[in-house]
Amino acid sequence: MLLKSMGKIFLSLLVVSLLVDNWFTYGVSVFMLPQAASTVLRRQRRYNSGHLEEVVQRDNLERECIEEKCNWEEAREVFEDNAKTMEFWTGYIDGDQCESSPCQNGARCQDGLSSYVCWCPSGFGGKNCEIEIARQCDVDNGGCMQFCVEDKVRGPTCACAPGYQRGADKMTCEPLSQYSCGRIGKTVKDKLSARSLTVSETVDLNKMSFNGHINMSIQTPSENNTLDLFNDLDLTNGTASPVSLEVNSTQLPAVDNWTIPLRHISSSIDERIVGGNEATRGAIPWQVAIINKATSTVFCGGSLLSDVWVVTAAHCITKSKGPFFSRLGEHDKRKNEKSERDHEVDDVILNPHYDAKKSLYNHDIALLHLQTPVIFSDYIIPICLGTNGFTEFLLRNAATSLVSGWGQVRFGGRDSPTLQKVQVPYVDRTECKRSSSDHVSNFMFCAGYDTLEKDACLGDSGGPHASMYKDTWFLTGIVSWGEECAKEGKYGIYTRISKYFQWISDVTGLTLAPTN
């Protein structure tokens, strides 16, 4: 044992001796310089962009905050950056709100304290980026063929009128029968497309509110199958003069889906309604004639909404002289054309806000229930009823709308024996109220021309003010009242149908087609 201890001491002395001898021989120091020595004690950074440091950071995070509970300072020491620490901390203390992937359409989810934020890609909006901005209802009707309904869960959803179903694209509406509302019957379509089109009319520009010369040509039907005679008017310098147009069938091709022109220039000499012209038989198949039983005279018009419901003006009912009935499929009152069908009315429902003692024309709307259901034909088809928002949108944006009836051809003149039509544009509300000496309520609107003699007149009351959207006709108004007929500076006043969709729906049971 003693010998082993003496051996260790000897070896130690030998090593020291060799080191001292080496130092004196080569002049090399066994000690580091101060600057180099300080680097040994300097703390290494825990985090940078290097892969090794990321591994170190992950290990530190797992040790500090996953294996054990850490506080803010400990987490900050791991990340050494406030923003990165906060991003980690929000999910650490209350869970990751993005874990359920709430953001849709490729949006990026950012977790927050008890909340999250979805960063939407272009073209999408909403809390979860679930709404396609291009399909919001106030932008081109959401791309819908008929109605656009705002759904809180699904966003803009397209809906259809009764008698239609949604197409596979969930935007179009497909008719369930040949007599779905707002469509023209096939027989009438074929007649319109095959017949010879002859236009021979005189335009008196002296009655218009502008001076200019006219350079007019006939266009072939456009994509919506209408003749637009206004597009070629050259209203530059010059003197207005009458223009005569004659067109034969060789100049215009036959079309499969001909519609009544949205804009039309016509003579104001001895014409029906006032400034209009005769409708093609069956072209307005929802037109109803309300006839006095005692005199067999048409005293008001109406619009067919379904097989048992007609809508008309309330003042037609309160001012009627004796019992009346409804006739559908009527065109020429002087003869039986075999398309007419008479129906008794077994119930009359005035709008609950209508009070003839206070105002004969405010809330001027009534519903007539027919005793027996109507059998639809190419000459008897209901008009579509739109939702509030859709109907108001259509009313304001249609180039012109169609008014029809058998009323007086001019103020104080004779009634028309055949159904007449006239195109009238919507009039701005400020101008409408300014032009009228009587009160125009929010439940009314103006349509017509300031100087052109085109208007509804006595006997047309209760009839339809109809507007077409994507080949389907919708009821947008009811002929109500006016100061004389086609009087300069005055307009026709109509009941605003958009205000009464819910009431009509509640009474008649007419609701939107299912969207499932």
Active site residues: 315, 364, 461
286: Cβ–Cβ under 8 A, 6 or more apart, which residues? 181, 182, 303, 304, 381, 382, 383, 464, 466, 473, 475
- Report the distance separating Cα 513 and Cα 359, nearest Å: 36
Cα distance between residue 389 and residue 377, in whole Å: 30
Which amino acid is residue 223, in one-letter code? E
Task: Give CA separation, 183 vs 318, 350, 391, 515, in Å.
Answer: 32, 28, 17, 21
Q: What one-character-per-residue DSSP string does 479-496 give?
A: EEEESSSS-TT--EEEEE
- What DSSP character marks residue 512? P
CA-to-CA separations, 136 to 129, 149, 158, 174, 515, in angstroms, rounded? 13, 9, 11, 22, 17
- 277-278 and 444-447 beta bridge pairing: unpaired
What's the CA dihedral at 273, 275, 280, 283 to 10 degrees? -70
**Half-sphere exposure (CA, 13 Å, Cβ side) for 245?**
20
For 81-85, which contacts have Cβ atoms below 8 Å and span 24 or more sequence positions? 81/47
Identify the three-state secondary structure at position 35: helix
CA angle in degrees (0–180, nearest 5) for 402-278-276: 55
Is there a contact between 70 and 64 (Cβ–Cβ < 8 Å)? Answer: yes
**At residue 509, what are phi and psi to the nearest 5 degrees?**
80, 5
- CB-count burial class (<10 Å; 0-12, 13-18, 19+) for 379: buried
From residue 90, give the alpha-carbon distance in Å to each of 56, 191, 196.
Answer: 22, 72, 77
21 burial level (CB within 10 Å; 0-12, 13-18, 19+): exposed
Cβ count near 487 (within 10 Å): 15
The DSSP code for 353 is: T
Which tokens sit at 133? 């901005």
Q: Which residue matches tokens 């519609």?
A: 259
